[in-house]
Structures are given as C-alpha cells and as structure tokens.
C-alpha cells in the first residue's frame, strides 16, 4: 500500500481492515483495564484449541473501541466445542485474559480448555467432577480455563490475580488456571 492511499482510509475502514485480517465494565474490573494501558491502543488475544485444532489471533480493541467482528470471532472460538453452542463472551473476561498474558511476558498463545459451556455440558461435567460449579460463570460466557506450556499454574494465577478483576482458580493437578470476570476471589492450589 502506498503512502498516498493511506489518506483515503477512514478510521472505520481501518477497524474493519484489522478485523478482516485476523483468522466490558464493573467497578472491580478497573485494574485489568489499567494493566492493558501503556501497550498502545491495541488489545490482542491469541489462543488455540486442542479440542478443535483451531487457532485465534485477533486484535479486538483499537483506540478505545472494541472491534465487533473480532468479538464475534472470539465468541465462536470459545464456543462449547461439545455441541457447538454459542454464547457471547464477556469483554471483561477477554480483557482479564489479555492483561494476565501481557503480565506474563510470553509470546505463546493460550491453550483454551474451556470457554462457554452450555447448561447441558455443565451438568454433564458436574456429574463427573465435584470441581464444577452448578451456576458456573462459563455458562454466562464470563469464564475461561487456560494453560500455557511456558508458565506454571502458579505464575499464571499470580498474573491473573494481580489484575484484581475477577475470580482466579488454580487447578495444579490438571495444569490450568480459571479466569473469570465475576467477584474478585481465588481458590485452589
């Protein structure tokens, strides 16, 4: 693209271009947004799913605005892979994940173990494990279970907890961290 053609691009066009080239706020949430400041006016999330084989690398925030198309991609990527049920993923959860990832200073994308869970999937998992909440925030699109090969559960949990923006669960035996945009709290070991 030549320098001359840049003059014809509108801000909306730029937002659309960013979205096309890639495959929210309660008071307790303010700290996560604070960790995202200073990194420019762009927020990016990178994940892959071992269950579906899909990868996501998208810019979902540009200059103070969420990119709706990117949020739609995130919602699809974080769907209930067992039955392909979709539910909007809360922007606050994505921001917490992004802030924690930035604090960890890694290039590795998250491995998404669980994003949205349909009520049917949640009930099935509850029947198999005592560690699944009846009213899990996964069913509201407000939680994610994540893993990084290059960081320990404790390192990930400390980064998420530093955001002081939601719930952080350590599941060391299963090697993942739960992050949500609910009340600030922590559990597990």
Phi, psi for residue 149 in degrees, rounded to 5:
-70, -30
- pLDDT score recorded for residue 54: 97
Q: What is the CATH number of domain 3-188?
A: 3.30.1380.10
Average pLDDT along the chain: 84
Q: Where are the beta strands (DSSP E) in 78-153?
A: 110-114, 143-147
- pLDDT score recorded for residue 32: 56
| Cβ contact 89:100 at 8 Å | no
- pLDDT score recorded for residue 130: 77
Q: In what order do the strands lie in the sheet with 143-147?
A: 65-66, 55-62, 42-48, 110-114, 143-147, 176-180, 167-171, 185-188
Q: Which residues of the chain have pLDDT under 70?
A: 1-40
The torsion region of residue 141 among left (phi > 0), alpha (psi -120 to 50) and beta comes to left
The model's pTM: 0.79
How many separate helices (H) and strands (E) can be counted in the chain? 7, 8
Nearest to 104 by CA among 48, 149, 74: 149
CA distance 98 to 113: 16
Q: Give the burial string for 171-180 (b: 16+ CB within 10 Å, else e).
A: beeeebbbbb
| Cβ contact 160:187 at 8 Å | no
Give the tens place of pLDDT for each residue, 39-85. 458 999 999 999 999 999 999 999 889 999 999 999 999 999 999 99
- pLDDT score recorded for residue 131: 79
| Cβ contact 162:35 at 8 Å | yes
Count other Cβ atoms within 10 Å, centred on residue 97.
Answer: 28
């Amino acid at each position: 693209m030549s320098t001359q053609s840049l003059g014809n691009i509108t801000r909306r066009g730029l937002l659309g271009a960013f979205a096309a080239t890639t495959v929210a706020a309660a008071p307790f949430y303010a700290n996560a947004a604070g960790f995202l400041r200073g990194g420019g006016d762009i927020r990016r999330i990178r994940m892959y799913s071992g269950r579906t084989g899909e990868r996501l690398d998208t810019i979902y925030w540009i200059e103070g605005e969420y990119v709706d198309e990117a949020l739609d991609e995130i919602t699809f990527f974080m769907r209930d892979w067992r039955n392909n049920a979709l539910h909007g993923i809360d922007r606050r959860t994505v921001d917490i994940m992004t802030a924690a990832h930035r604090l960890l200073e890694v290039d590795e994308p998250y491995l998404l173990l669980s994003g949205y869970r349909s009520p049917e999937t949640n009930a099935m998992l509850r029947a198999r494990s005592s560690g699944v909440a009846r009213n899990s925030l996964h069913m509201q699109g407000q939680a994610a279970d994540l893993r990084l090969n290059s960081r320990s559960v404790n390192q990930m949990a400390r980064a998420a907890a530093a955001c002081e923006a939601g719930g952080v669960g350590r599941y060391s035996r299963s090697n993942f961290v739960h992050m949500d945009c609910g009340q600030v709290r922590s559990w597990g070991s």
